[in-house]
Structure formats: C-alpha cells, structure tokens
Amino acid sequence: MASFRLTLSPNRRAATRFIDRVRRSIQKALAEERRANGLTQSEVARRIGVHRSVINREINGRKDMTLGRVAELANSMGREILFELKAPASRPGVNIQTKTASTSVTTVGVESPNYAVSRAA
C-alpha cells in the first residue's frame, strides 16, 4: 500500500483556506438566492455570458476562479463583496498578546457592472 505525504508551505495553506472560504461563500449565496428567488446556475451563467458547466466547475472547485469571476458571480446574484486585510491578533510562538492595529481595509461593493471601491484607514 502506497503512502503519500503532502507538505504545504504556510503560505500555500493560507491561500488554500482563503480560496475555500470564498468558494463556500459563493455556494451559500447561490443556495440562498435559489430558495428566495429561484435563481439557478443556468441563470447565473446566462447573466455572466458563459455555459452553465463552467459555473458548476468553478463553484464546485474543479476549476480555478479569478477575482473577476468572483465579482461577476456576486453581481449576478445581486450580492456585495466585502474584503479586508487585518493584522493577526497574535503571532505563533508569542505568549503575550500585544495590541495590533488593523492595516488598511479595502471594501469592494458589487452593485452594478461598475464596481465601487472605497478605502478606509
């Protein structure tokens, strides 16, 4: 029996977890829109201008999504994207927490084909 050991760098692990959170958020939003308004993957695909199978592969993780596609999906569902980069509350290997200030926060709202971007400090 073959045994495999997969080693991920901390950066790759963080990226994978972030991508998974984004994908789950899109899946959840689509499920909510389906229940509330009957929105289907086919309708989302039509609004974006691609085949339904492309949307299915992206949403289910069999195809990578670009940030542009994430914005298109959110817009097609009438959703807003909120994104922020914060300094971590604590660092690994540090027993005493220090007060950290949040880095600049970027909020991206998807309201129409024109994407609104605002910056707050």
- pLDDT per residue over 28-41, tens digit each? 999 999 999 999 99
The CA distance from 106 to 91, in Å, is 23
Q: The whole model's pTM is what?
A: 0.68
Tokens representing residue 62 in the block: 């069999």
* pLDDT tens-digit series, residues 44-100: 999 999 999 999 999 999 999 999 999 999 999 999 999 999 888 876 666 665 555
Fold for domain 11-120? 434 Repressor (Amino-terminal Domain) (1.10.260)
Domain locations along the chain:
11-120
